[in-house]
Amino acid sequence: MVNSKKLLIPMVLFIGASSLFFLSGCKNVQVPDGVTVVDNFDINKYMGQWYEIARFDFKQEKDLSQVTANYSLNEDGSVKVLNRGFHDIDKEWKEANGKAKFLDETDKGALKVSFFGPFYSGYNVVMLDPDYQHALIFGESTEYIWFLSREKTLPDQTKELFLAKAKEAGYDLNRLVWTKQ
């Protein structure tokens, strides 16, 4: 005969841990405190190809060069995301397909993006020139940042503005990786 108390404790621990994992993955994405996103954001002007100029390294982008992000509208109003880069060690192209949605208002640069099913992360457009040629993106914390451009380079003046904004927001600029295009 099996002792039900011995089975109950591991089962409760498993259910509790599983629930915590599920809930943390489905957390409510929001713009971080103190971060202001772009107003009058036009998603249609944002569509197309962007070159990654700089980022903080993390597992999915480690050792990638020639990184681009392509955005296009899906029929349901969400944004199809295709990130692509060349893995310098494996000597092969890597791709990641995802989906982005607005957090609230469609005229604000506050979105959430997912590459893994129901798990979303913040994608906050905090600086954007009027012609939609250069964008500064903050993640949901100071662990994620991207400098994007429609060209493979970023004008020095824009670069300095992005660096100043990131420093003001508490980003450790020593962690920036300048993407080889």
Centre a 10 Å sphere on the Cβ of residue 177 and count the other Cβ atoms it contains. Answer: 17
DSSP string, 66-90: EEEEEEEE-TTS-EEEEEEEEETTT
Instruction: Judge whether residue 10 has pLDDT over 80.
Output: no
Split at pLDDT 50, 70, 90, the class of 2 is low
Split at pLDDT 50, 70, 90, the class of 37 is very high
Looking at residues 99-127, what average pLDDT do you find?
A: 95
Give the per-residue pLDDT at 28: 79
Split at pLDDT 50, 70, 90, the class of 59 is confident
Split at pLDDT 50, 70, 90, the class of 20 is very low
The beta strands (E) that lie in the chain are given as 48-56, 64-73, 79-87, 92-102, 110-116, 119-128, 134-138, 145-149, 176-178
| Residue-averaged pLDDT of the chain | 88
**pTM of the shown model:** 0.84
User: Which 3 state secondary structure label does DSSP give 34?
Assistant: coil
pLDDT in tens, 101-110: 999 999 999 9
Give the per-residue pLDDT at 18: 40
Give the per-residue pLDDT at 74: 96
Give the per-residue pLDDT at 17: 40
Whole-angstrom Cα distance, residue 54 to residue 25?
27
Looking at residues 13-20, what average pLDDT do you find?
A: 40
